[in-house]
Amino acid sequence: MKLIAKSAEMQSISESHRLAGKKIAVVPTMGYLHEGHISLIKKAKELADVVITTLFVNPTQFAPNEDFEKYPRSPERDYNLAQENGSDYLFNPATEEMYPGGFHSAINMTGITDKFEGEKRHNHFNGVATVVAKLFNITKPHIAVFGQKDYQQTLAIYQLVRDFLFDLKVVVAPTIRENDGLAMSSRNVYLSSAEREKAGVIYKSLSDALLVIEKGENRRKIINAVLHNTLRSVHEIKIDYASAADADTLEEPDVFLPGEHVILVIAVYLGKTRLIDNALITIPNDPHIKKHYFV
Ligand code: PAF
């Protein structure tokens, strides 16, 4: 695997692969790779001839009060993991390479990014969109692979690709979980062992809500109450949001109809660590649940 730090070099390598008729997949990451990232690299390898993993902790997607400085970093370990799992290139630019003096542009996202993460993390999606657009122009991929763990981010990326006509396909791969269901995340390393033991409640609350939906519940308030009640069983948890929403638009109707895709989204603080998770479900086509949306 080749380590590349300069955008111009990465662009020219990608261009030569394109001219040779090779299919390129990019896996954008902020490093501190875990099984979740590895599954994305493996997915990219399945779909393309050339895999580029990018490693850049993007300052513009962190608010001043957030964890940019202490975000975990381990570039050597990341290099080895990316290589072992089939990446052909690791693009690891310095901050000045991505945002040199004179860089004064930013993408401003609205709509799908206004609520949930967008509301709680001011400017976050503008930073994500700006860096991802730049990474697309540097790596020139046919395919870009993202994780479902950052569900709203995947909607933002679809929007970005549609709005700017990026000529690539976005692929979203499933969340990879620890044994107790905790979604793999670079930020899990912040958890103390006591907090880590309690973190499984996030997945439990998603599972409880999925169960009531499967049994016929389609009222948003009741589904949200199930999410909140399970989360509240752990006193150390502070809920940032926990809601059911339309999986495509993130709208929050009172009642979801059979066949509609629903996303359950959660963000909580466990101690000082902010964790997010989500689960997708289709409202079952079961006639007995009609009573909920005809009343
Ligand atoms: O999901 C992430 O790790 C980041 O938001 C991304 C897409 C690499 C952009 O910095």
Distance CA 251, CA 271 (A): 30
Q: Which of 90, 91, 132 to mutate to test ligand 1, by most ligand atoms within 8 A of the CB atom?
A: 132
Distance 123 CA to ligand 1 centre (A): 14
Residues with Cβ < 8 Å from 90, sequence gap 6 or more?
1, 2, 3, 4, 52, 53, 54, 55, 78, 79, 82, 83
Is pLDDT above 50 for 293?
no
- Is residue 7 a contact partner of residue 29, using CB atoms and an 8 Å limit? no
- Edge-to-edge order in the sheet of strand 273-282: 237-246, 261-270, 273-282
**Could you tell me if residue 66 is inside a domain?**
yes
Domain boundary among the residues 107, 139, 173 is at 173
pLDDT digits over 169-219, tens only?
999 999 999 999 999 999 999 999 999 999 999 999 999 999 999 999 999
Relative to beta strand 24-29, strand 143-147 is parallel
Is pLDDT above 70 for 294?
no
**Could you tell me if residue 181 is inside a domain?**
no
Distance 12 CA to ligand 1 centre (A): 23
Is residue 267 located within the same domain as residue 220?
yes
Distance CA 60, CA 81 (A): 26
Is pLDDT above 60 for 18?
yes
- Give the DSSP letter string of 7-75: HHHHHHHHHHHHHTT--EEEEEE-SS--HHHHHHHHHHHHH-SEEEEEE---GGGS-TTSSTTTS---H
Position 288 scores a pLDDT of 56
Is pLDDT above 90 for 157?
yes
Q: Which helix (H) or strand (E) holds 237?
A: strand 237-246
Burial of 287 (0-12, 13-18, 19+ CB in 10 A): exposed
Whose CA is closest to atom 9 on ligand 1?
128
Ligand 1 cavity residues, CB under 6 Å: 28-30, 58, 61, 128, 131-132, 150, 153
Is residue 240 located within the same domain as residue 123?
no
CA dihedral 238, 243, 247, 251 (to 10 degrees): -120
pTM: 0.96
Closest by alpha carbon to 91, among 50, 43, 129, 45? Answer: 50
Distance CA 147, CA 38 (A): 10
Is residue 108 located within the same domain as residue 198?
no
Q: Which of 26, 27, 30 to mutate to test ligand 1, by most ligand atoms within 8 A of the CB atom?
A: 30
Is residue 34 located within the same domain as residue 161?
yes
Closest by alpha carbon to 239, among 186, 279, 194, 202? Answer: 202
- DSSP category for residue 261: E
Residues with Cβ < 8 Å from 146, sequence gap 6 or more?
28, 40, 153, 154, 157, 170, 171, 172, 173
Which residues have a catalytic role annotated?
37
Is pLDDT above 50 for 111?
yes
Domain boundary among the residues 173, 208, 224 is at 173
Domain count along the chain:
2
Is residue 125 located within the same domain as residue 201?
no
**Could you tell me if residue 117 is inside a domain?**
yes
**Could you tell me if residue 294 is inside a domain?**
no
Distance CA 267, CA 287 (A): 33
**Could you tell me if residue 87 is inside a domain?**
yes
Is pLDDT above 90 for 226?
yes
Is residue 112 located within the same domain as residue 214?
no
**Could you tell me if residue 23 is inside a domain?**
yes
Position 161 scores a pLDDT of 99
The CATH number of residue 257's host domain is: 3.30.1300.10
Domain boundary among the residues 140, 173, 206 is at 173
pLDDT digits over 139-149, tens only?
999 999 999 99
Is residue 166 located within the same domain as residue 202?
no
Task: List, in sequence order, the alpha helices (H) in the chain.
Answer: 7-19, 35-47, 75-84, 95-98, 117-120, 124-139, 151-164, 193-198, 201-214, 220-232, 290-294
Is residue 221 located within the same domain as residue 160?
no
**Could you tell me if residue 137 is inside a domain?**
yes
Is residue 22 located within the same domain as residue 140?
yes
Distance 49 CA to ligand 1 centre (A): 23
Burial of 270 (0-12, 13-18, 19+ CB in 10 A): buried
pLDDT digits over 50-88, tens only?
999 999 999 999 999 999 999 999 999 999 999 999 999
Is residue 79 located within the same domain as residue 216?
no
The CATH number of residue 63's host domain is: 3.40.50.620
Is residue 54 located within the same domain as residue 83?
yes
Is residue 13 located within the same domain as residue 142?
yes
Distance 28 CA to ligand 1 centre (A): 6
Q: Residue 197's domain spans which residues?
A: 186-289
**Could you tell me if residue 178 is inside a domain?**
no
